[in-house]
Amino acid sequence: MTDVRYCELSDLSATQDQLVEIRHHLHRHPELSFQEFDTSELVAQKLESWGYRVTRNVGGLGVVATLTVGDGTRSVAVRADMDALPIHEETGLPYASCHAGKMHACGHDGHTTVLLGAAQQLAKTRNFSGTVHWIFQPAEEAGSNSGAQKMIEDGLFERFPCDAIFGLHNHPGYPVGNFMFRSGPFMAACDTVKIKLKGRGGHAARPHLAIDPIVMASSLVMALQTIVARNVDPVETAVVTVGSLHAGHASNVIPESAQLEMSVRSFTPEIRLQLETRICALAHAHAEAYGGTAEIDYIKGYPVLVNSERETEFARQIAEELVGADHVVANFPPIAGSEDFAYYLQHRPGCFLRLGNGVGKPMLHNPGYDFNDDNLTTGAAFWTRLVERYLAEAP
C-alpha cells in the first residue's frame, strides 16, 4: 500500500462523546476478575454491530473480534483488559461505581473503551490490508491463573494467528496523551509469599515457657530487608515488601503462630530465583533460631514483561507521528508493577506501552483514581494508526 493517509487525532474527534458514554457506563458497572459477564457481552455486541467476526468465551469471558480486509498476509493483535478491583470508590463522580466495594481503580474501563474506539474506526474506514484481532481480556488483576493465561491455554494464538501483539496501560503522574516506551525488560515479575511461623503459645507473664512467633516474625521482617541490600547485585532491581503481618489477639497472650505475606518483584529469572532461595532460607533459619518452624507458600505470579526491540521501535514511531516527539519518551525507566501481558510476549513479539493519565492525578489502585477521558480518542487514534501502518508494511 502506497500514498495512504493514516489515522490522525482529528479523525476520532467526532466519536469523543460516544466513547465517554461507553467509558462512564463501564466505570459505573465494574466487574471483578472472571466475573466480567456484562462487560464482555457489551463489548461483543458493539463489535458485531460494526461487522466483526466475534468469538465469545475465549479462556472464559474473553472476546476476540476479527476483521480481514484485502489480500494482505500480515496479521496483528491488540489487547485490552476488562476487569475491575475490589476497592470501594471514593471519587464522588456522577458515574461512580454503583457496586459497593468494586471499582475501576486501574483504568481497564478506559483501556476497553479505547480499543472499542479503534475497532469502530477501522471497521468504518477499512484502511488496511490484512487481518486485525482485537482481544478483550478478562482477569488481568487475578495475580495468578489470569485471563491472559486462560486465553492462551484456550488456543488464542492458534485460533487467531498474529505476527505481533500490542497493548497499553495508562500511567498517572505523566502528562495526559504522552506515550512511554522501553524495549527489553519493562515490567517486573511478581511473586506472592505467604509464611506461617509456628511457635508455642503461652502466658505473657511466662515468656520463657513459650516460643514467641511475634518476636520470630519481627526479626524475620528486618532480615528480609537485607536481601536486596546485601544479596542482590546493586546494578539490578528487586523489591521485597512485607505487606501483611498478623499475630495474636490479646495483650497478655503469646500466640501459637504469626502469618506474613509479601510481594516480591524482579526483572530477570536469575534474580527471581535468588530472591526465592534467600527468602526461604531466612524464614527457616529464623524460625529454627527461636525454636519454631516455618511453613512457606511461594506463589509464582506474572513473569517479567519483555518488549521486543523491533515492535517497540515501530510503536514509538507511530506515537511520534501521531502526537509529536515532544510527547514521547523512548526509553522510559523499568516499572516495578507487573502485567499478565507478559505471557503474550512469551509467545509472540510485541510491545506493551504506557499512556500518561495526567500529572497530580491519583495513582493506580487508589479509591480516588479515574481514567482520563482526554485519552480516549488519543488512544483510539494510536491503535488505529498502528494497525494501518503495521499491515501496510511488507513482511
pLDDT at 3: 64
Per-residue pLDDT of 262-282, as tens digits, reads 999 999 999 999 999 999 999
Which residue in this structure is represented by grid cell 458485531?
Answer: 48
Asked if the domains at 9-187+304-392 and 189-300 fall in one CATH topology, the answer is no
**Residue 4's pLDDT band (cuts 50, 70, 90):** confident
- pLDDT beyond 90 at 289: yes
CATH code that applies to domain 189-300: 3.30.70.360
Separation of alpha carbons 354 and 165, rounded Å: 15
Task: Please report, for residues 79, 346, 353, the alpha-carbon distance to residue 350 in angstroms, rounded to integers and kept in the order given.
Answer: 11, 9, 10
Quick: pLDDT tens for 96-106.
Answer: 999 999 999 99
- pLDDT of 119 above 90: yes
What pLDDT is attached to residue 395? 63
pLDDT tens digits, one per residue of 320-359: 999 999 999 999 999 999 999 999 999 999 999 999 999 9
pLDDT reported for residue 64: 98
Measured CA angle at 224 (ends 223, 230), to 5 deg: 85
Which parts of the chain are beta strand (E)? Answer: 53-58, 62-69, 75-81, 130-137, 164-171, 179-180, 184-187, 189-198, 202-203, 238-246, 253-254, 257-266, 293-300, 305-307, 328-329, 350-356
pLDDT for the residue numbered 220? 97
pLDDT at 1 over 50: no
In the structure grid, which three cell numbers stand for residue 298, read together?
Answer: 511461594
Phi, psi of 335 (to 5 degrees): -115, 130
Q: Specify whether the CB–CB gap between 43 and 103 falls below 8 A.
A: no
Q: Where are the beta strands (DSSP E) in 5-129?
A: 53-58, 62-69, 75-81
Q: Is residue 394 scored above 70 in pLDDT?
A: no
Q: Are 137 and 72 in contact, with CB atoms under 8 Å apart?
A: no
Q: What is the pTM of this model?
A: 0.93
Q: What is the pLDDT of residues 237-259, one digit of tens each?
A: 999 999 999 999 999 999 999 99
Give tens-digit pLDDT for 5-64. Answer: 999 999 999 999 999 999 999 999 999 999 999 999 999 999 999 999 999 999 999 999
> Do the beta carbons of residue 372 and residue 3 sit within 8 Å?
no
Distance, C-alpha 386 to centroid of its chain: 21
Nearest Cα to Cα of residue 357 among 135, 26, 187, 105: 105
- Taking residues 363-386, what's their average pLDDT? 98
Mean per-residue pLDDT over the chain, rounded: 97
Name the band, by pLDDT with cuts 50, 70 and 90, for residue 144. Answer: confident
Q: What are phi and psi of 293, to 5 degrees?
A: -135, 160
Delimit the domains of the chain by residue range.
Answer: 9-187+304-392, 189-300
Q: What secondary structure, in 3-state letters, does the chain show?
A: CCCCCCCCHHHHHHHHHHHHHHHHHHHHCCCCCCCCHHHHHHHHHHHHHCCCEEEEEECCCEEEEEEEECCCCCEEEEEEECCCECCCCCCCCCCCCCCCCCECCCCHHHHHHHHHHHHHHHHHHCCCCEEEEEEEECCHHHCCCCHHHHHHHCCHHHHCCCCEEEEEEEECCCCCCCEECCCEEEECEEEEEEEEEECECEECCCHHHCECHHHHHHHHHHHHHHHHHHCCCCCCCEEEEEEEEECCCCCCEECCEEEEEEEEEECCHHHHHHHHHHHHHHHHHHHHHCCCEEEEEEEECCCCEEECHHHHHHHHHHHHHHHCHHHEECCCCCECCCCCHHHHHCCCCEEEEEEECCCCCCCCCCCCCCCCCCHHHHHHHHHHHHHHHHHHCCC
Q: State the average pLDDT over residues 368-373.
A: 98
Please state, for a pLDDT cut of 90, what percent of the chain lies above it. Answer: 97
Q: Is the pLDDT of residue 146 over 70?
A: yes
Q: Which CATH number fits domain 9-187+304-392: 1.10.3720.10, 3.30.465.10, 3.40.630.10, 1.10.357.10?
A: 3.40.630.10
CA dihedral 94→99→103→107, nearest 10 degrees, is: -70
User: Residue written as cell 486485525?
Assistant: 132
